[in-house]
Amino acid sequence: MKVVCKVNNLNSFSDENVLKRLKKYIFMPEGEVDLYIGKEYTVYGVVFWDNSPWYYICVEEYDEYPKPFAAEFFNVSDDRLSVYWKLSAVAQKEREVLSSLVFEEWTKDPSFYERLIEDDSEASALFKNYRQLIDQE
């Protein structure tokens, strides 16, 4: 799956409901997020917060892990889902369910993303491998 950035600032959204929902997760005083308008990004996973998709992407080629960005920032340029993604639905506190489309090892380990951003060697190696595979799709 590939997406192209169409907006990189919260203040660009005129729909108050969208803005309110995004501000629950994005804390940028000026509203600007770390994306480049017009740039195409590969999606390495999708998580659903408030029933809305957020794409895990690497903003820079040298990024060691993907970061989630709301779908509203993008247009989809290639809607094919990765063959490596599995559907995950994990119960959270207060009966919420976190749904995502990510590779299998991530679906089986609720702490995978935390391990990845903390530079856990096993998690980093797994992501690096899947990143190469997904980039080739």
> pLDDT tens, 33-57?
999 999 999 999 999 988 899 999 9
With a cut of 80, say whether residue 95 has pLDDT above it.
no
**What is the Cα 98 distance to its own chain's centre?**
13
Sequence ranges of the domains in the chain: 2-135
Q: Would the pTM of this model clear 0.75, i.e. be above it?
A: yes
**Contact, 61 vs 77, CB < 8 A?**
no
Mean pLDDT of 78-107: 90
Amino acid identity of residue 41, one-letter, is Y
